[in-house]
Structure 1
Amino acid sequence: MAILFLILGILSLALSFYFYSRKEKIELTPDEISKQKGNDFEEYMIQLLGKQKDIKFVGKVSDYHKNGISALENFEPDLKFKYKVAPFAVECKWRKSFGNGSITWAKERQIRNYNEYQKNKKEKVYIAFGVGGEPSKPDHLYLVPLSVLKYETFKKEYIADFEIKEEAEILKFLQQQSKFFDRN
């Protein structure tokens, strides 16, 4: 009888260990996958800009939205930085490709919100587009002043002049693109 209890005990332990250690595959929804890609690209931009001389990372928008409640800061660009004393903001968008040669990057109300933010806060707003590769290391990076992007969709050729070809040149690129920094 003792051997039977010993065998049952060992089987119970084995089953317990099996179910405890088995990791269930977690299926992410398309929205969760998209949010993760967005977070990965934001992290890429934080690291890229935050490592530049005289650029300081100030903060990141929470993107809180649940059960119909959204944080007011969700209407602002994703990331906030300072170059010396001049604040600027970056809205991050990663896309797998240009698709049919164009990208839809925002809805009209979002563009309006970013323009209002730029005007009211007196902060230059850039739109960072990562295209191809992975969100954490895109094949192509574009840093486009908001003032250039008037419409929800644009063709690749429209932003070609704003491509960052060398990450080490990003500060020089920002200075060339913005008279805003020259005043500070």
Structure 2
Amino acid sequence: MIQAVKADGILTPKEEKLILEIAITEGKDPEIAINKIKKELQESEEENETELIDLNQKAGLGFEKFVIQKFDKKYFKIRNWAGDKFVDGRYADTTTQPDFQLSLNLRGQSYPLAVECKWRSEPKGDYIRFANDGQLERYKAFAKQENYPVFIVLGIGGKASDPAELYILPVQELNKSILHKSAFGKYHKKIDADFFLDQESNTLR
């Protein structure tokens, strides 16, 4: 019975009553037995949540690596690569900034830009949410404060390290953090092409 409860991860009232009866029959303290099971279930749930967070972080990092490799190191310098580490509500300022801050170095001139990477495995329905409202507002504020363009590079489908589709969304053009699928056409990027910044129009293509 105890192993069955651990296997499905749920302790129902019926199972709790049965365990209580078994413990009494065997001369054991039923409260200790039930509390022990509840503790083990809670620890198991926390481990599963940690595994899910780890998977999401790995996917995010995998897509970031995919994206950064599309910026030719001959022309682009990585000025900052933000991390998402935090503890007890404390985190670095860069945690809320776009993933990459880069500079295009061309003919002795430097042109800064920032990129946020987002990957979605299998969007459902006709709309795709590429960020939450708070994130979009932060990226807009960052672009205004730093006075250089910020782009969201969105990967769709496939694997994070090898997406099926790729889109470049200029933050200054976005009013919502969710778009209809039909609106993404003009932002489409060939999956096998490198990125380059048109410094005159501040367009990443």
Q: TM-score, normalised by structure 1?
A: 0.74
CA distance in 2 between counterparts of 1:166 and 1:111 reads 24
Which sections of structure 1, spanning at least 5 residues, go unmatched?
A: 1-25
1:62 correspondence with 2:71: no
Residue 82 of structure 1, CA deviation? 0.8
CA distance in 2 between counterparts of 1:103 and 1:168 reads 23
CA distance in 2 between counterparts of 1:164 and 1:135 reads 16
Larger radius of gyration: 2
Structure 1 residues 33, 81: CA separation in 2 closer, same or farther (over 3 Å shift)? same
Give matches, 1:37-52, under 5 Å.
Answer: 37-49=59-71, 51=72
CA distance in 2 between counterparts of 1:83 and 1:167 reads 20
1:164 correspondence with 2:189: yes
**Runs of 4+ residues over 4 Å off in structure 1:** none
Give matches, 1:1-184, under 5 Å.
Answer: 29-49=51-71, 51=72, 53-84=74-105, 85-168=110-193, 170-171=195-196, 174-175=197-198, 179-180=201-202
Aligned residues: 152
Which sections of structure 2, spanning at least 5 residues, go unmatched?
A: 1-46
Kindly, what percent of the aligned residue pairs are identical?
Answer: 27
- Aligned to 1:168, the other structure's residue is in SS state coil
Compare relative contact order (CA 8 Å, sep 6+) and give the higher one, 1 or 2. Answer: 1
Residue 52 of structure 1, CA deviation? 5.8
Letter in 2 for 1:46: I
Residue 100 of structure 1, CA deviation? 0.9
User: Comparing 134-143 with 28-37, which one deviates more in the overlay?
Assistant: 28-37
Structure 1 residues 124, 54: CA separation in 2 closer, same or farther (over 3 Å shift)? same
Determine if contact 1:126/1:143 at 8 Å carries over to the other structure: yes
Query: Aligned residue for 2:3?
Result: none
